Structure 1
Amino acid sequence: MFNEREAVDHFVARLRPVLDGLGVTYEVVAVDDGSRDATVARLIELRRDWSELRVVALRRNVGHQTALAAGLRSARGEYVVSIDADLQDPPEVIGEMLTVAREQKVDVVYGVRSDRSTDTSFKRNTAGAYYWMMRRLVGPWVSDNAGDFRLMSRAVVDVLNALPEQRPVYRLVVPSLGFVSAEVPYVRAERVAGETKYPLSKMIKLTVDSVTSFSAAPLKIATWLGLLSFVLCVLLIVGGLIAWGFGAVVPGWTSLYVAVLLLGGIQLICLGLLGEYVGRLYAAAQNRPQFLVAFDTDDSQSSHGVESVELAGR
């Protein structure tokens, strides 16, 4: 949750009846991603009447995927469901996910958006382009319209927590592990309250992280651009020699100007692409913690008594 004070009450009002009706023990891990409003205070109030609610507050805003990592590391259930608090992903589907996981004996159940009519045309088109690109760069196992609303078994969560990645993109990491999976379709709803926490800038950042974390395609692009620049340089040299051989007077400033701009632009693009990977190596070498927990309402950190379902929410 990030600045979700307006949505918290609506979220809890729909989530709690669903979980109480499952007939299993559960715990809800509410990860606060450095909210600046009264989100944490309201969660503490709600916890007084809902002992299954656990609040994990991060010291600062670290972003959606890293906050989700904090939730997964805190989760102790046999099954873990990740869901956002804006109610665009319906909590009522959790029961169906759990049933599918048990009956079909699968480790992952993806919530797949069968209808995104509530999203803007721009959001639908950019999301379609994202998944199209990911399937071609990463692999065909990337599911269409499957975000971060999913159920995972303890085996999957343990593997995710053991990964050394600094910037995990779970919608790509989870299917890449190869665990047996199933899908549950649902209709994506409008945000229940507040403003979206995923503007265009964050969508672009997610795309960059997705590409550079799972594919060497940008490096290959840099290679091809380098080859293209080499061919163009050869042609310019040949042209210059021909002009010199015929005794033509060539001022040279135009060709030199174009060549410098062309080669300089290509070099900058290549350096930028390489920089993305070098930056990740730098972050890995620093080995700084991804997040710091300000407090956790659960005082028994070593307990592992929750058996069935746990929610890691952001």
Structure 2
Amino acid sequence: MSSEAPRLTVVVPVFNEEDVLPLFADRMRPVLDGLQVPYELLAVDDGSRDNTPVVLELLCRRWPQLRVIRLRRNSGHQNALTAGLHRARGEYVASIDVDLQDPPEVIGEMLRLAESARLDVVHGVRADRSTDSPFKRWTAGLYYRLIRRVVGTTVPHNAGDFRMLSRRAVDALTEMPEHLPVYRLLVPWLGLPSGEVTYRREPRAAGRSKYPIAKMVRLALDSVIGFSAAPLRVATWLGVVGIALCAALAVAGGAAYLSGNVVPGWTSLIVAVLFLGALQLLCLGLLGEYVARIFTSLQGRPAYVVAFDSAVDRQKVEEALCRL
């Protein structure tokens, strides 16, 4: 790989994608070669447990611009993206998933828009999601409506992690001490000049999705709790509602005592106890989410650990051989 700093870096988080990687390379390489700019494709192997490292090594041997970073353990999609952003060398840095649902051909349009309009951020916006399942479209719509209401309307609707960033935007992101980053919210928060490019979302080229329902729920929780104190306010309002209901029950109990009807009601008692217990557990759970984030931040552990970087480690080997 050339020591010259590339004009463009494309970051691709990869986890157990041995089936789709050859298809991705066959489609991505002509696109990047056709841009006529120095580039590097930075594949971040997020601790894959299949043959993904082998496939990446074979691709790296015949694709000089392909650079592979391997993490020691699976750190999650957003942390793998963080590793790529931290080590990207390009003046512009694009991020894309390997499943080919986001078309690589849009990268050239993003780069031209960023350069011509002097934008620091170009979001890829999914204007057509007809290839997604109805459940996926419904949950995605619910997620973006929730986020825009809680965080603000600066978050582009239907914009994921397919985007183009300038070097200024990348440097700003790498300086932020985020332990659980959600870049679809962090990037708009920067307030840098931005634009949008729309595209049609395509079906997954091969393999299975690495974002099941559990990870989607986790992303939604990280998005809301990491960027807003609204859940704590919800807990406060639930407490107010609980107090109001308890006061109403107290008034009803006093009225029953004055009227002489003092036979205890088991149903009303158990309903009140269960309701108040559920409120307390919910409020404790919300508080626990914030305390857990404080605890993680105080630990100071790195979000990821790099085991291998083909651009750095191979250069060290070559230098050692030259000294022999």
TM range (shorter): over 0.9
Q: Which residue of 1 aligns with 2:52?
A: 39
Q: Of the candidates 210, 213, 223, which is equivalent to residue 197 of structure 1?
A: 210
**Residue in 2 that maps onto 1:115:** 128
Could you say what secondary structure the match of 2:20 adopts?
helix
Task: Tell me which of 124, 132, 135 is aligned to 2:137.
Answer: 124
Question: How far apart, in 1, do the equivalents of 2:200 and 2:258 lie?
Answer: 71
Structure 2 match to 1:306: none
Partner residue, 1:62: 75
**Partners in 2 of 1:183 and 1:301 — Cα distance?**
38
Identity of aligned residues (%): 60
Pair 1:224 & 2:237 matched: yes
Please give the secondary structure, in 1, of the residue aligned with 2:68: strand
Q: What's 2:36 paired with? A: 23
Deviation at 1:59, TM superposition (A): 1.2
Q: Matches of 2:244 and 2:125 in 1, distance apart?
A: 46
Distance in 1, matches of 2:49 and 2:91, equals 32
Matches within 5 A, 1:77-226: 77-226=90-239
Letter of the aligned partner of 1:119 in structure 2?
A: D
Which ranges of structure 1 fall in alignment gaps of 5 or more residues? 303-314
Give how far 1:242 is off. Answer: 2.2
Aligned pairs, how many? 302
Return the match for 1:6 from 19, 22, 33: 19
Partner in structure 1 of residue 261 of structure 2: 248
Which residue of structure 1 aligns with residue 9 of structure 2?
none
Output the CA distance in 2 between the equivalents of 1:107 and 1:131: 23
Deviation at 1:239, TM superposition (A): 2.0
- Following superposition, the deviation at residue 249 of structure 1 comes to 2.5
> Could you say if the C-alpha distance between residues 301 and 128 of structure 1 is closer, same or farther in structure 2, counting changes exceeding 3 Å?
farther
2:288 corresponds to 1:275: yes
Give deviations 1:116-149, integer Å, cap 9, x for gaps.
Answer: 1111111111111111111111101111111100
Residue aligned with 2:50, SS: coil
What's the TM-score once normalised by structure 1's chain length? 0.93
Tell me how far apart the structure 1 counterparts of residues 56 and 121 of structure 2 sit (CA, whole Å). 29
**Offset of residue 280 of structure 1:** 0.6
**Residue 245 of structure 1, CA deviation:** 2.4
What is the TM-score of this pair, normalised by structure 2?
0.90
Determine helix, strand or coil for the equivalent of 1:276.
helix
Q: Distance in 1 between matches of 2:253 and 2:33?
A: 80
Please tell me the residue identity of whatever aligns with 1:271.
L
* AA in 2 matched with 1:73: H
Letter in 2 for 1:3: N
CA distance in 2, matches of 1:248, 1:198: 57
Instruction: Compute the displacement of 1:16 (Å).
Output: 1.0
Residue of structure 2 in register with 1:309 after alignment: none
In structure 2, C-alpha distance between the alignment counterparts of 1:154 and 1:249, rounded to whole Å = 74
2:89 aligns to what?
76
Computed over aligned residues only, the root mean square deviation of the Cα atoms, in angstroms, reads 1.4
What secondary structure sits across from 1:148 in the alignment? strand
Q: What is the CA-CA distance between 1:255 and the residue it aligns to?
A: 3.1
CA distance in 1, matches of 2:262, 2:105: 78
| Distance in 2, Cα, partners of 1:70 & 1:148 | 14
Distance in 1 between residues matched to 2:111 and 2:70, nearest whole Å: 27
Structure of higher RCO (CA pairs closer than 8 Å, 6+ residues apart)? 1
Write the distance in 2 (CA, Å) between the matches of 1:290 and 1:53: 24
Secondary structure of 1:178's aligned partner = coil
Amino acid at match of 1:83: I
Shift of residue 5, structure 1, vs aligned partner: 0.6
Q: What pairs up with 1:252-267 in 2 under 5 angstroms?
A: 252-267=265-280
CA distance in 1, matches of 2:210, 2:78: 12
| Runs of at least 5 residues in structure 2 that lack an aligned partner in the other structure | 1-13, 316-324
Deviations 1:193-245 (A, max 9, x none): 11111111111111111110111111111011100111111122222222222
Distance 2:128 2:314 in 1: 40
Aligned-residue offset at 1:252:
4.5
Letter in 1 for 2:218: K
